[in-house]
Chains A and B, each alone.
Chain A
Amino acid sequence: NAGVMQNPRHLVRRRGQEARLRCSPMKGHSHVYWYRQLPEEGLKFMVYLQKENIIDESGMPKERFSAEFPKEGPSILRIQQVVRGDSAAYFCASSSYSPSGLSYNEQFFGPGTRLTVL
Chain B
Amino acid sequence: KNQVEQSPQSLIILEGKNCTLQCNYTVSPFSNLRWYKQDTGRGPVSLTIMTFSENTKSNGRYTATLDADTKQSSLHITASQLSDSASYICVVTYNAGKSTFGDGTTLTVKP
Docked Cα-Cα span, A81 to B99, in Å, equals 29
By size class, the interface of chain B is 20 to 34
Contact of A45 among B36, B46, B99, B102 (CB under 8 A): B99
Contact of A44 among B32, B49, B91, B101 (CB under 8 A): B101
Question: Are B96's CB and A42's CB within 8 A?
Answer: no
Docked Cα-Cα span, A4 to B43, in Å, equals 10
Question: Are A42's CB and B45's CB within 8 A?
Answer: no
| Interface residue count on the A side (C-beta < 8 Å) | 26
Stretch at the interface among A60-68, A70-78, A106-114: A106-114
Question: Are B43's CB and A42's CB within 8 A?
Answer: no
Q: Which residue of the partner chain A has the closest CB to B101? A: A43
Q: Which residue of the partner chain A has the closest CB to B104? A: A42
Docked Cα-Cα span, A101 to B32, in Å, equals 14
Q: Which has the most chain B C-beta neighbours within 10 Å: A33, A42, A43, A44?
A: A43
Contacts of B101 in A (CB 8 A): 35, 42-45
A43 and B44 in contact, given A105-B32, A105-B97 (Cβ under 8 angstroms): yes
A91 and B51 in contact, given A48-B97, A56-B98 (Cβ under 8 angstroms): no
What is B's interface to A at a CB cutoff of 8 Å?
Answer: 31-32, 34, 36, 42-46, 49, 51, 89, 91, 93, 96-104
Q: Can you give 19 contacting A-B residue pairs, CB < 8 Å?
A: A31-B97, A33-B99, A41-B103, A42-B101, A42-B102, A42-B103, A43-B44, A45-B99, A56-B98, A91-B43, A91-B44, A104-B32, A105-B93, A105-B97, A107-B99, A108-B46, A109-B44, A109-B45, A112-B43
What is A's interface to B at a CB cutoff of 8 Å?
Answer: 4, 31, 33, 35, 41-45, 48, 55-56, 91, 93, 97, 101, 103-112
